[in-house]
Structures are given as C-alpha cells and as structure tokens.
Amino acid sequence: MLLQQIIPYLLVGSIGLLVLVVIIFLILKQKMGKSEYKKIKALQEGTKTSNFSLEILYQKLYLTYIKIPLLKRYILKLRRRLEIINIDDEYVTRRDAAKVLTKTLGLIIPVALGTIWITHANPFLMFILLLFELFMIDTLVDGMVDKLDNKLLLEQIDFFSEIRHAYHEYNMVEEAIYQVSQDDEKNVSRQGEKIYEVLISNDPETELEKYYDVAPNSFLKEFAGVSYLTKEFGDRKVNGASLYLKNVNNITEEMQLEILKRDKLNYVFQSLSVISIVPILLLEPIKSWAVSSFSFTQSFYEGKTGMIVQIILLIITFLSYILTRKLKDNGSTQIDTKNRENPWQAKVYKNPMGKKVVDLFIPKKGTKDYRKVQNLLKDSASKLKMEWLYVNRIVIAIATFIASMIIFFYLHQVAIDYIYTEPTTDYDLIGGMSEKDQREAEELTKIDNEFINRFKGNTDVTVEQIKTTMQYSPYYEEVSDEELQTAAERVYSKLQVINSEYLQWFELLLAFVFAIVGYMAPIWMLMFQMKMRQLEMEDEVLQFQTIILMLMRIERVNVEIILEWLERYSNIFREPISKCVNNYEAGAWEALEELKEDVSYLPFIRIIESLQAAVEKIPIKDAFDELDSEREYYQEKRKESNNRLISRKGMIGKAIGFAPMVCLFIGYLIVPLVFIGMMSMSDTMSNLQA
C-alpha cells in the first residue's frame, strides 16, 4: 500500500528531473555556442587527421632519414635549400625534404635493382653503375628543388599583382605587403611576412642586409630593396603613375622573362641527362645479343679489348653527364649547400703534412701562374679557395693513378680468365654453337688448361716441348701427328697470352699520364664554367639596365648606391664591381675608370661611362634617360638574347648528351661486328683456299 503511494511521486520527480536536465543542457549549449568553446572545437576539428596521413608519414620518414648515414647527407642538403624557401617553418621544411627524398628513392631504387639484374654477370660494370647512380640522386634532388623554386617564382607573379591592388588601397608599402602576405598556403607569403618584419624593424637597413643573404631569388631581393627605399624616401609620381608600382611592374616583367627562359631550358634539356646515361645500361644487352647472334665477336666482348671499350664508354658517359648538368643550369638561385667554413679540403690543408705537400704545388703569390689561377676562380664564380682547389687536384690525381693501376691489373686478369674459360673451337660466321658443340668445346678447353698450368710462367717453352708432353698424355694417344701439332700450337698461343699478361712499363707510364689528366680536370672544369658564364654576359648587363631603371628616379639615390645594387645582383662581373665599390671612397671617377679597365664587354663599359657622367656632370636620371625611353627595345633585346643563349646551350648540350649513345653504337657494336667479321671472313677464305 505504501509502495503504491510512493510510485506516483517517483514518476513525477523523475519527469521533473529530466525536464530540468534538458533545460540546463539547452542553456549550456546556447552559452557555449557564444563563447570561445566553439572556436576551440573548430580548431580541434581542423587538426584531426585520418588514420593514414601523408603529412605525418613524411615527418616520421624525415626522422628516419636523418639517422641513416648515407641518406643523412642528402636530407641535410635538401634542408639547406628548402629552409631558404620555407623561412622559419620547420614543419614544412621537414615535410618537403622528406617528400623530395622519398620520391627520389622511389625512382632510383628500381633503377638500381634493374642494374643489378642486367649486370649481375659483370661485377665490375655493376659496381661502376651503382656508384654512378649515387650521382643521379643529386640530379633528381636538384630537379625537384628547382621545381619548388619555379613554383615560388610563379607565386610571386600573383603576389606582386595583389601588391599593386593593396598599395592602391592603403598607400603604404609595409601595410600592403602585410595584407597580401596573410595567405598561409603559399610559400611566397612567408617571404612577404619576412620583408614586412624587415620594414617595421628598429634597424631596417641591417635587417635588409640579413634578408639579402637568405632570399631565395634575386627578384625578392629587388622587391625588398625597392620597398625599403620607397618607405624611407617616399613614393613619387612619374608621368602620372606611382614610381613604386612602376618598379614592381619592372620586376614582374623580369620574372616573366626568367620563367620563360627556364621553361625553354627545361624543355631543351629535359631528356638529355637520361640520354647520356642510357648507353651504359645497354652495354650488357648489346653484348649478349652480339655474342649469341655472331659467335665470332665473343673474343672481343668477353676479352680485354671489350672491357677497355666499356671503360672508355663509362668515362665518356660520366663526363657527358657532368657537363650536361652544368649546361642545364637554368639560372635559378643555387643555394650553396656545402659546409664552406670547414670542408674536408680545409681539414686536409690544416694537417701539417698535408699543408707541406699542397704548398709544393700552389704557385707562389704574386707570380703569373698564381694570378692566372686566381682569375680563373673568380671568372668561373667558384666558391673554392686556392688551397682547396689544389687539395682537390692532388686528391683526384692520386685517386686517378690508383684507379688506373687497379684497372690495368683487372684487365690482365680478364684476359687470363678468358683464356681459361673460352670454349675452344673454330668460329662460325653467324649464329652460335649447338649444345653438343658447346660441350665438346668446353671439354677441349679443360684439356688445354691442364697443359697451360704445366707450362704457365715458363717463357722459354717451345711448341715441340708442348707437343712432346701432349703425345704422352691420355688425351692424345690415338691422334694424328698433324692434329697433335695443331693442338700444341693452340696451347702455345694461349700460353703466350697468359705469360704476357703482367704489368708493363708503358702501363705505369699511362697511369702517370691519366693522373696528370686528373690533376688538370678541376682546372678544365673551371674553364668550362667560365665559358658558360661568358654566354650569359649580355643577359646580366640587360639585368643591370633594369636595376638602374628602377633606381634612377628615386630621390637621394646616388652612383654609389647603384654600384652597391649592381654588386648585390651581379654574377659574372661581381669581382670588378666589388673592387670598384671598395675603392669608391678614395675617388669615384678613378674607381669607375679602373672598373672600365677591368672589363672588356662593350655594353657594360657604356653603363660605366654613364655612371661617370652621373658622378660629376649630370643627374642620374639624365645619364640613363635612354633606358626609360627605349624600354621596349631593351625588353625585346633581352628576349632575343635569351633565345640565342638557349639555342647555343641546346646545340652544345645535344652534342655532349648524344656522344655516349653515338660511341656506344659505333665503338661497341658496329665497328666490332664489321672489323671482326671481315677478319673472320678473311680467315675462312684462307682456310678454304688452303
């Protein structure tokens, strides 16, 4: 009875409690919707990832690569280049570095496995190819980073376009840059934020110099410099238009020309690197086909001569590959990723014994040879010091000599092994031997080897001695005297080859000659770089004209500031311009006159003469007035200059890139088939006539 009375109260209380909970929930939900809780929840949702995330995978792969000794070198090299593009963003730098290296390994590992499968019968060739593929990683890595650099350039086009609109709205340089840099998805936004920080800093001039050292390309340097000058000295109207926006437009036009130039260079060279490498992958397939189809070529392909041709082809391929890479330089900013403060060359030179040896080869300071090498380093824009260059030369010479001696010993061993393993039979002109003939030939080789081992090392042995020994052996008990004589002569000829396969005096001399070539190789490479740089002289002078065009109408810009800008963006003429800047305080006219004597390129000499006129006689804008009036002409001239440069590089690149392929088919296939075939036919005709 009591329970029946309590149940209605419990039901009412439960319903009331449920209603209260629902009311409290609705009130809390409304309050939390208005508070920071909603923002926090949105942030959490934005950072949630699925079970499999490439972003996380690349971060984990980066930590793995950094622990592996060989891969650590490449990942650090990637870091040094990518952290310039991804300023102050460790997460993105690690992600991009791991992504590039993973893609590279994804391409190179199948090639390495294919190389092992194709060349498993030739350990020497397999070792060389696998070593060569390590150099390919550098090419793939540089190519992928160049793509990121090109992507940044394309983003800069849109960035500068947005700067124009923002500047019209805010009429303040730093505010326009800040507003446009809010897009976090683009790499160029990080550069914009960095430039904004430079402009609003307490010492913008010092911070700007620091930014110049880490800017990923010269166009961002120009933009940062022009933005700083405009903020400091103010903007002005030229022909009714903003000078700052006009300069930004000039930089944009320069970028567009550079993008077109890079695209054309990439198109011309996109397959040349692969074409220069492919021939060495075809050595074994060609060898297998030729031996199986024309058995008379076996002595060439399996013997010492064939191995010598293989080594020559490997050297030609390696040189073609290196030179093609040098030619393909598309003008993108090449960040020096090596430790220039204390490289291995510096460590060698710091060693007392190493220093004594290297100093014996370095020309004395002040001599003609010293100045010649020093000028070559400057003209080729090499980062090497004189001491480091000679450490390289000596090390390469020693390595070349040791490698030459190893190869000579290996070639002698190849010739001896071929004598012991070659099936002993007459050659067929076309086609191979049947299985029965093959077994008989191999059995005859084993018999010959027994007699070779008896007389091996005896240089005074005669055919008669061999014949006498053979006639008492069980192999030649029931043969005719003529067959015995033929067998003895055959064994004698094999013995002559084996007994002569030792290191000869001329091979030692050749090793020294190759060492001298190796010693000169770094100098020749610097000369090649210098020639390639000279091809780009006209392009650099036209870039100087654009820089002067941007600066000449800015208030309080003088000749010294122009020279400092030219020095900052110069490459080929950096040394003489730096010398002029250093001597400028002692006498402006004299420093420019000395600069004019140091260079021989006529268009640059005309710029120097205009700067001299601006020092004493007329204002800068009057000295370079023709640059503004003939802007369109110089733009067309720049395009034509780029087209000529690409055409010339393309012709040289094709000649170098196709050289290994031509040498492969002529030297390793056609010549052996024709020459050995003619010799075989001659021997066959002689036998038929006999």
pLDDT value, residue 377: 82
Q: Are the C-beta atoms of 75 and 205 separated by less than 8 Å?
A: no
Q: Reply yes or no on whether the pLDDT at 78 is more than 90.
A: no
CB atoms within 10 A of CB 507: 16
Which residues on adjacent β-strands are paired with residue 238? 241
Q: Average pLDDT of 500-519?
A: 88
pLDDT value, residue 397: 92
Quick: pLDDT tens for 238-250: 777 788 888 888 8
Q: Are the C-beta atoms of 424 and 441 separated by less than 8 Å?
A: yes
In whole angstroms, how far apart are CA 266 and each of 104, 370, 649?
Answer: 19, 38, 11
CB atoms within 10 A of CB 406: 12
Q: Are the C-beta atoms of 218 and 571 separated by less than 8 Å?
A: no
Q: pLDDT class for 645, splitting at 50, 70, 90?
A: confident
CB atoms within 10 A of CB 352: 7
Q: How many whole angstroms separate alpha carbon 149 and alpha carbon 267?
A: 17
The distance from CA 86 to its chain's CA centroid, rounded to whole angstroms, is 21
Q: 159-173, 466-480, 508-522: which range is least confident on average?
A: 466-480
Convert 107-153 into a string of H (helix), E (strand) and C (coil).
HHHHHHHHHHHHCCCCHHHHHHHHHHHHHHHHHHHHHHHHHHHHHHH
Q: pLDDT class for 513, splitting at 50, 70, 90?
A: very high
What is the percentage of the chain residues whose pLDDT exceeds 70? 84
- The 3-state DSSP class for residue 333 equals coil
What are the helix (H) ranges across 422-558? 435-455, 463-471, 481-500, 505-535, 537-551
What is the percentage of the chain residues whose pLDDT exceeds 90? 3
Q: How many whole angstroms separate alpha carbon 499 and alpha carbon 453?
A: 11
Domain spans, the chain: 1-32, 60-269, 343-532
pLDDT value, residue 429: 45
Burial 258-276 (b: 16+ CB within 10 A, else e): beebbebbeebbeebbebb
Q: 13-22, 80-89, 188-197, 388-397: which range is least confident on average?
A: 13-22
Q: Reply yes or no on whether the pLDDT at 358 is more than 60.
A: yes
Q: Are the C-beta atoms of 645 and 258 separated by less than 8 Å?
A: no
Return the sign of the alpha-carbon dihedral for residues 572, 266, 140, 75: positive
- Helices (H) and strands (E) in the chain — how many of each? 32, 2
Which residues on adjacent β-strands are paired with residue 431? 294
Q: 36-40, 111-115, 203-207, 510-514: which range is least confident on average?
A: 36-40
Average pLDDT, the chain: 78
Q: Report residue 454 as tokens.
A: 């008896």
Quick: pLDDT tens for 159-209: 888 888 888 888 888 888 888 888 767 778 888 888 888 888 888 888 888
Backbone angles phi, psi at 172, to 5 degrees: -135, 130
Q: Reply yes or no on whether the pLDDT at 9 is more than 60.
A: no
Q: Are the C-beta atoms of 217 and 163 separated by less than 8 Å?
A: no
Convert 394-417 into a string of H (helix), E (strand) and C (coil).
HHHHHHHHHHHHHHHHHHHHHHHH
Q: Which residues contact 382 (CB under 8 A, 6 or more apart)?
A: 389, 526, 529
**How long, in residues, is the chain?**
690
Return the sign of the alpha-carbon dihedral for residues 630, 636, 638, 641: negative
Q: Reply yes or no on whether the pLDDT at 33 is more than 60.
A: no
Q: Reply yes or no on whether the pLDDT at 339 is more than 50.
A: no
Q: How many whole angstroms separate alpha carbon 133 and alpha carbon 113?
A: 11
Q: Average pLDDT of 476-505?
A: 79
Quick: pLDDT tens for 522-570: 898 888 888 777 777 777 888 888 888 888 877 777 888 888 888 888 8
Residue labelled with tokens 């209605």? 8
CB atoms within 10 A of CB 348: 19
pLDDT value, residue 471: 77
Q: Are the C-beta atoms of 208 and 198 separated by less than 8 Å?
A: yes
Q: Reply yes or no on whether the pLDDT at 337 is more than 50.
A: no
Convert 550-602 into a string of H (helix), E (strand) and C (coil).
HHCCCCCCCHHHHHHHHHHHCCCCHHHHHHHHHHHHHCHHHHHHHHHHHCCCH
Quick: pLDDT tens for 107-143: 778 878 887 887 777 777 777 777 777 767 777 777 7
Q: 146-155, 483-492, 621-630: which range is least confident on average?
A: 621-630
Q: Which residue has the higher pLDDT, 121 or 656?
A: 656
Quick: pLDDT tens for 404-429: 998 888 888 888 888 777 776 654 44
CB atoms within 10 A of CB 204: 19
pLDDT value, residue 396: 92
pLDDT value, residue 543: 82
pLDDT value, residue 332: 39
Quick: pLDDT tens for 588-604: 888 888 888 888 778 88
Q: Report residue 111 as tokens.
A: 């090639």
Residue 12: left if φ>0, alpha if ψ -120 to 50, beta else—which one? alpha
pLDDT value, residue 688: 67
pLDDT value, residue 141: 75
pTM of the complete model: 0.70
CB atoms within 10 A of CB 534: 12
Quick: pLDDT tens for 41-77: 454 454 454 455 777 888 888 888 888 877 787 787 7
